[in-house]
């Protein structure tokens, strides 16, 4: 339990930030999953369009430091490589 007014406020803020970060990470995972589903479906055009929608979401999380920039780059790189490897 918080002992001071400032600690109570920090605890409230931390809970708000955590809820927002969870929602943003979930949105990123959904975007990555949509690209992966399009890739496994074999539709290269759908995979490209979903990838183009996913990239700004991934970049925004890296910009807000919710995920590390290297993790963002790794996600984008692996998805792009899988799309390039499609027939």
Per-residue CA distances from 25 to 14, 20, 49, 78, 87 (Å): 16, 9, 20, 18, 31
Nearest to 16 by CA among 5, 24, 27: 24
Report the number of distinct structural domains present in the chain: 1
Tens digits of per-residue pLDDT, 37-77? 999 999 999 999 999 999 999 999 999 999 999 999 999 99
Measure the CA–CA gap between 74 and 82, rounded to whole angstroms: 12
- Provide the pLDDT for residue 35: 98
Average pLDDT of every residue of the chain: 96
Give the global pTM: 0.87
> Using CA atoms, how far apart are residues 64 and 51, in angstroms rounded to an integer?
20
Residue that is written with structure tokens 């927002």 in the block = 20
Q: Is the pLDDT of residue 83 over 90?
A: yes
> Which of 55, 54, 42 has the alpha carbon at shortest distance from 83?
42
Instruction: Domain of residue 21: give its range.
Output: 5-84
Give the whole-angstrom CA distance, residue 51 versus residue 36. Answer: 9
- Residue 27 belongs to domain with CATH number: 1.20.58.110
């Amino acid at each position: 339990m918080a002992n001071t007014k400032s600690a109570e406020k920090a605890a409230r803020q931390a809970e708000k930030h955590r809820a927002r970060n969870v929602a943003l990470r979930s949105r990123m995972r959904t975007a990555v999953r949509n690209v992966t589903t399009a890739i496994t479906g074999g539709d290269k055009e759908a995979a490209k369009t979903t990838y183009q929608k996913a990239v700004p979401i991934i970049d925004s999380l890296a910009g807000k430091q919710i995920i590390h920039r290297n993790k963002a780059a790794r996600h984008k790189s692996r998805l792009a490589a899988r799309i390039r490897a499609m027939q």
